[in-house]
Amino acid sequence: MCGILGVVDRKGVSAESLSMMRDAMVHRGPDDAGIWLNSDRTVGLAHRRLSIIDLSHAGRQPMADSDGKIRITFNGEIYNFQTLKKELGEIGYSFRSNTDTEVIMNAYHEWGTDCLQKLNGMFAFGLYDENRRVLFLARDRLGKKPLYYSASSSERRFSFASEIKAMLKDQSISRDLDLQALNHYFTFGFVPDDLSIFRSVRKLPPAHAMIYHTESGKKDIWRYWDVPEPSGQIRTEEDLLSELESLLKDAVRLRMISDVPLGAFLSGGVDSSLVVAMMSMVSDRPVKTFSIGFEDSNFNELPYARIVAEHFGTEHTELIVRPDMFSILPDLVRQFDEPFADSSMLPTYYVSKVTREKVTVALSGDGGDEIFGGYNLYRAGLFDYYMRLMLPEPVRKGIAWSSRFLPEKGLARVKSQLSKLQYTQYESLIERCSEAYFKTSYRTMLLSSEARASLNSRFLEPEGSRLGLFENRHDGIIDRMSYVDLHTYLPNDILVKVDRASMLASLEVRAPLLDYRIAEFSFRNVPDNMKIHGSTAKYLLKRLAGKILPQTLDINRKWGFAVPVADWFRGPLSTGIRDTLLGTKNVYFDQACIRRLLDEHSQGRDHSLRLFSLLVYYLWEREYLKV
What DSSP line would sit under 306-363, residue for residue? HHHHHHHT-EEEEEEE-S-HHHHHHHHHHHHSS----TTHHHHHHHHHHHHTT-SEEE
What is d(CA 382, CA 476) in angstroms, rounded to the nearest whole number?
Answer: 10
What is d(CA 573, CA 202) in angstroms, rounded to the nearest whole number?
Answer: 34
Measured CA distances, 229 to 205, 411, 473, 474 (Å): 20, 39, 7, 8
Chain-centroid distance, C-alpha 467: 20
Query: Which is nearest to 565 in space by CA: 208, 386, 326, 335?
Result: 326
What is d(CA 567, CA 299) in angstroms, rounded to the nearest whole number?
Answer: 11
The DSSP output letter for 148 is E
**Residue 512, phi then psi, degrees to nearest 5:** -60, -35
Q: Does 115 qualify as catalytic in the annotation?
A: no
Q: In sequence order, which residues have a C-beta less than 8 Å from that of residue 74 and are 6 or more positions away?
A: 2, 4, 47, 61, 63, 100, 101, 104, 123, 124, 125
The beta-strand segments (E) located in 132-277 are: 134-139, 148-152, 157-161, 202-203, 208-213, 219-223, 262-265
What is d(CA 152, CA 409) in angstroms, rounded to the nearest whole number?
Answer: 55
Residue 221's beta-bridge partner residues?
Answer: 210
What is d(CA 121, CA 68) in angstroms, rounded to the nearest whole number?
Answer: 25
Chain-centroid distance, C-alpha 76: 14
The beta-strand segments (E) located in 484-537 are: 508-510, 532-533, 536-537
Catalytic residue among 2, 115, 433, 593: 2
List residues with catalytic annotation.
Answer: 2
